[in-house]
Amino acid sequence: MPLDPWIIEEILRREKEKRRRKEERPQIDIPEIDPEERKRWEDEEKRRRDQEEEDKPKRGVVIIDT
């Protein structure tokens, strides 16, 4: 039993609407970071990592030969 033409049209319309909604996903723009600000941030991050490294307890192995 074939489908009525109006049913086929409705199926096609729904599929088209579904594709259209999928293509229209919301997007946000990522702002560009000023190169000087980026450098300042990277320097601060490096200082923070260096400080964390210095704050770690020194560990090592001592061999006592008798």
Predicted model pTM? 0.40
**Distance separating alpha carbons of residues 22 and 16, to the nearest angstrom:** 10
**Distance separating alpha carbons of residues 63 and 22, to the nearest angstrom:** 66
pLDDT of residue 10: 93
Ranges of residues in the chain whose predicted pLDDT is under 70 = 1
- For residue 24, the 8-state DSSP code is T
pLDDT of residue 1: 67
Name the residue with tokens 């770690």. 56
- For residue 1, the 8-state DSSP code is -
Q: Residue 44 corresponds to which tokens in the numbers above?
A: 């601060």
